[in-house]
Structure formats: C-alpha cells, structure tokens
C-alpha cells in the first residue's frame, strides 16, 4: 500500500492507495486502485487510537475532502475519539473512477457485468482489504445515506471486524420490495412539493411558466442538453435537505433563460461529474430482486394530472437518452435494470447482531423511507434508533457535531 502525508490546521492527513480485485470472487483477475485518506490530530498521530471508516452517501460519490477539523461538520466530533479513514468508494474520486470513455470502450454486456461489481457488497470487501492492509483488528463504521446501506452490509458480512456502527439517514429495507420503496418516496416527494408551493406560492406559477417555455422552445443548458419538463421536475431532489426549499426558491426566482438560471438548473440535475450515481442507483435497493426501472413503473398518476409536481431521487430510463453524460451508459443501464441481483444482507446475521450500533432515522426523510428504516431498526438486534424530525436527510452535516455525538453515546449506552 502506498501512503503520503501532509499537515493542515493541526491535522495530519495521510493518503493511502491500495490495489484490490475488481471482482473479489476472482482475486487473481483484474485489479483496481482504491483510495482513502486518514485524518488525525497531528499531536495524537503516534497514539494508539481506534479507527472510524466513513462511507459516503450516493451511490457514486467520493468521500469528503477535509478543509480542516470543522469540514465536514461531523469530523471534529469523530476526531475526539478516532483516527478517521475517508474512503473513496470504487469507481469515483481517486478510486479508479468510471467515466464515459470507459463506457464507450466496452460492449454493453461487458460494461453491465463490470458495473454490477460496484455495489455495497464490493465496497465492503474493499474496506476489508484496507482494514487488513492497515493491520487494524477492529474498527468502527459511520455510514451516511447509501453509506448506511454499506454499513449494514458490513454488519451482515463481517461483524467480527466491527467495533461499533453508526448510521445516519441510511437504514435500507431488508424485506420490502423496491416498488414499495418508490411508492413511499413518491408520497414524500409530493408532500414536500405541496409544502414548498404553500410556502412560496409564486414558485408554482413560475414552474407553470417554465413548463410552457420549454414546451414552446428548444432551450439548451450550458452543457448542451435540452431543458425538458422532466428535467425541470427533477429540481424536486433539492427538497430532501434542510435548506432545500430555500435553494429551490432562489433558483426559481432567477429570470427564466438567464445564464444564472440555466447554470443552476444544470448543476442541480447533472450527472456529468458522477455518472455512476445514476447507473447503479436503483440496484442499491435490489437485494435478491430485479429493479426493472421501478421509479418509472410506479410513478403515481398524479404526475400525469399536475405537471408542476416535482420528482426526487428517482432515476428514469429517459435520462440515458436526454443526458449527454449518461448516453454512453444507456444500453448497460437497461441490462442492469433486468439483472437478477444477489442479496445484500443476511437477516439472520443481523437478527443475532452483537456489534454496538445506533442510527439516526429521520421522520421526514425524502430519500430513504422512514417506515422501512424503522422496521429495519427493529430487526437488527441491539440497534438503538434515534427517531427525529429535527433534521432532514442531511442531518449529519447540518447538525454539526451533535448528530454523531448522540449516536456515539447511544451505541455506548451512555444516553
């Protein structure tokens, strides 16, 4: 394993690069590079501190890049107890990132077979390789959103490697099918949309005018994609965070067609930087099932009646036609939608869990259904759930040090 260290604002940051199998079931085959950055207070660098590995949300997003002890917001609390490892999940950041050129270099079936190796189960195996390479007997895990899915998969596959587990906004369903997951997320998204328009009535009027405009004209975003009604609706994904309603309002108040408006729409609905997010998104809910474009299939009839209703964290087949950055993945994405996926979790192992664990479950979570998270919390033996409407899905960052501190105390039985 290669490592390089530097200091910043009292922190010692060490960059680690490790070669791991692309397919852990074929350890002698192709290998990829996985990157992680460890963070510790410089004056504690020689101390024997326990480790905490962070799994980022997504899928398809790299770990945060720390600007100091307060960025990301939870880092300061973590550094009180741990040496932190920020893992770039395979395919993103500095971990052999996948882009359009990779997609174009492979036949669709070969690309789909490769992308099938980028789910939570493979990410957990990469983390195990890092744990062994760093000679760590036990470490703790913090998983945000999709990172929570990874954390639960870790508890299911390698509980003997774990000291503690903390999950924020990321307890996935264990038994419920993907169709019901998306029915719940649509209900939440519609409710959030209605609340937003009640708060900012002029925004619904603006949305109607924008819909008329994009239907009448060929309006192009800065990257060249055509602005469509479906893409406008995707702005609803903003509503899943604590400040999302304000961000949506500030975007919609910009003059239609202005450079600022077009840039902000593209940025809010773009997958150009992290295409893996769109390509494997539905598969993160596929534990022993096919997805078959679930979000498209179960979209409520209300969306046909009211064009101003917004969508959320939903991926659709049309996106691989309309988004230039996703077009190279189109055929592979259709193949993945028909794939019969293996199970991600072992309910029997989780029911017998002995790893101290705690989870923040957000009542108003628009991305991960509250009812599923609540049910999973009851299923995992010893899981202490903090059920709250104080935060939205981004509570780990919005709450500063408070959310992680509460979970640590819950898992350790001091709260």
Does residue 97 sit in the same domain as residue 66? Answer: yes
pLDDT digit string, tens, across residues 273-314:
999 999 999 999 999 999 999 999 999 999 999 999 999 999
Task: Give the Cα-Cα-Cα angle 104, 97, 18 (nearest 5 degrees).
Answer: 135
Q: Is it the case that residue 233 has pLDDT exceeding 90?
A: yes
Q: Is it the case that residue 8 has pLDDT exceeding 90?
A: no
pLDDT at 176: 83
**Rounded percentage of the chain residues whose pLDDT exceeds 70:** 100
Does residue 186 sit in the same domain as residue 315? Answer: yes
Does residue 153 sit in the same domain as residue 32? Answer: yes
Q: Check residue 148 and give left, alpha or beta (phi > 0: left; psi -120 to 50: alpha).
A: alpha
**Rounded percentage of the chain residues whose pLDDT exceeds 90:** 95
CATH of the domain at 46: 3.40.50.1820
Instruction: State how many domains the chain has.
Output: 2
Does residue 192 sit in the same domain as residue 98? Answer: no
- Of the pLDDT bands very low, low, confident and very high (cuts 50, 70, 90), residue 364 is very high
pLDDT at 242: 95
How far is it, in rounded angstroms, from Cα 387 to Cα 174? 18
Q: Is it the case that residue 264 has pLDDT exceeding 80?
A: yes
How far is it, in rounded angstroms, from Cα 114 to Cα 124? 17
Distance set, CA 76 to CA 66, 80, 217, 403 (Å): 11, 7, 50, 12
- Of the pLDDT bands very low, low, confident and very high (cuts 50, 70, 90), residue 224 is very high
pLDDT at 229: 97
Does residue 240 sit in the same domain as residue 196? Answer: yes
Q: DSSP characters for 299-366?
A: --THHHH-TTPPP-S---TTHHHH-TTTGGGHHHHHHHHT--PPPS--HHHHHT--S-EEEEEETT-S
Does residue 105 sit in the same domain as residue 121? Answer: yes
Does residue 185 sit in the same domain as residue 304? Answer: yes
Determine phi and psi for 58, rounding to 5 degrees: 155, -125
The domain boundary, picked from 278, 302, 337, lies at 337
Does residue 108 sit in the same domain as residue 124? Answer: yes
The domain boundary, picked from 337, 371, 389, lies at 337
Q: Which two tokens stand for residue 296?
A: 């498209």
Higher-confidence position of 407 and 9: 407
Distance set, CA 131 to CA 137, 214, 308, 339 (Å): 8, 51, 48, 31
Q: Which two tokens stand for residue 406?
A: 């509460």
* Domain assignment of residue 247, given as a range: 178-337
pLDDT at 3: 77
- Of the pLDDT bands very low, low, confident and very high (cuts 50, 70, 90), residue 6 is confident
User: Which has the minimum average pLDDT: 73-82, 265-274, 351-360?
Assistant: 265-274
Q: Is it the case that residue 1 has pLDDT exceeding 90?
A: no
pLDDT at 409: 98
pLDDT at 190: 98
Q: Is it the case that residue 144 has pLDDT exceeding 90?
A: yes
pLDDT at 270: 87
pLDDT at 375: 96
The domain boundary, picked from 321, 337, 353, lies at 337
Does residue 168 sit in the same domain as residue 184? Answer: no
Mean pLDDT of 118-142: 97
Does residue 329 sit in the same domain as residue 351? Answer: no
Say what the pTM is: 0.96
Does residue 53 sit in the same domain as residue 163? Answer: yes
User: Which has the minimum average pLDDT: 6-15, 185-194, 308-317?
Assistant: 6-15
Q: Is it the case that residue 328 has pLDDT exceeding 90?
A: yes
Q: Is residue 376 within 8 Å of residue 152, measured between CB atoms?
A: yes
- Of the pLDDT bands very low, low, confident and very high (cuts 50, 70, 90), residue 133 is very high
Does residue 147 sit in the same domain as residue 186? Answer: no
Q: Quote the mean pLDDT of the chain.
A: 96
Strand pairing class (31-41; 11-21): antiparallel
């Amino acid at each position: 394993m290669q490592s390089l260290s530097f200091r910043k604002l009292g922190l010692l940051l060490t960059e680690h690069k490790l070669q791991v199998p692309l397919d852990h079931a074929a350890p002698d085959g192709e290998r990829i590079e996985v990157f992680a950055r460890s963070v510790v207070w410089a004056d504690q660098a020689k101390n024997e501190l326990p480790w905490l590995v962070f799994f980022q949300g997504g899928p398809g997003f790299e770990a945060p890049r720390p600007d100091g002890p307060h960025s990301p917001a939870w880092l300061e609390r973590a550094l009180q107890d741990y040496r932190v490892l920020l893992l770039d999940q395979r395919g993103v950041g500095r971990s052999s990132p996948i882009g359009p050129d990779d997609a174009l270099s492979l036949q669709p079936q070969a690309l789909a077979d490769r992308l099938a190796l980028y789910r939570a189960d493979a990410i957990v195996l990469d983390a195990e390789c890092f744990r062994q390479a760093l000679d760590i007997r036990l470490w703790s895990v913090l998983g945000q959103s999709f990172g929570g899915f990874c954390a639960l998969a870790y508890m299911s596959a390698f509980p003997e490697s774990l000291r503690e587990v903390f999950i924020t906004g990321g307890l996935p369903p264990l038994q419920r099918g993907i169709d019901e997951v998306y029915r719940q997320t649509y209900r939440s998204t519609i409710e959030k949309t209605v609340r937003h328009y009640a708060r900012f009535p002029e925004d619904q009027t603006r949305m109607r005018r924008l819909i008329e405009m994009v239907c009448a004209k060929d309006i192009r975003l800065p990257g060249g994609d055509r602005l469509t009604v479906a893409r406008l609706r995707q702005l609803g994904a903003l509503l899943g965070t604590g400040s999302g309603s304000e961000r949506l309002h500030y975007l919609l108040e910009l003059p239609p067609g202005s450079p600022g408006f077009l840039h902000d729409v593209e940025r809010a609905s773009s997958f150009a930087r992290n295409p893996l997010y769109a390509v494997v998104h539905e598969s993160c809910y596929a534990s022993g099932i096919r997805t078959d474009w679930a979000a498209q299939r179960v979209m409520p009839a209300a969306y046909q009646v009211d064009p101003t209703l917004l969508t959320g964290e939903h991926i659709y087949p049309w996106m691989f036609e309309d988004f230039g950055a996703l077009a190279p993945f189109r055929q592979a994405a259709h193949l993945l939608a028909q794939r019969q996926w293996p199970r991600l979790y072992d309910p029997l192992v989780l029911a017998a869990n002995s790893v101290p664990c705690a989870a923040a479950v957000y009542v108003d979570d628009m991305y991960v259904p509250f009812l599923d998270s609540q049910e999973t919390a009851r299923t995992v033996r010893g899981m202490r759930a903090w059920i709250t409407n104080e935060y939205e899905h981004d509570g780990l960052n919005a709450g500063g040090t408070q959310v992680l501190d509460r979970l640590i105390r819950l898992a350790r039985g001091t709260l």
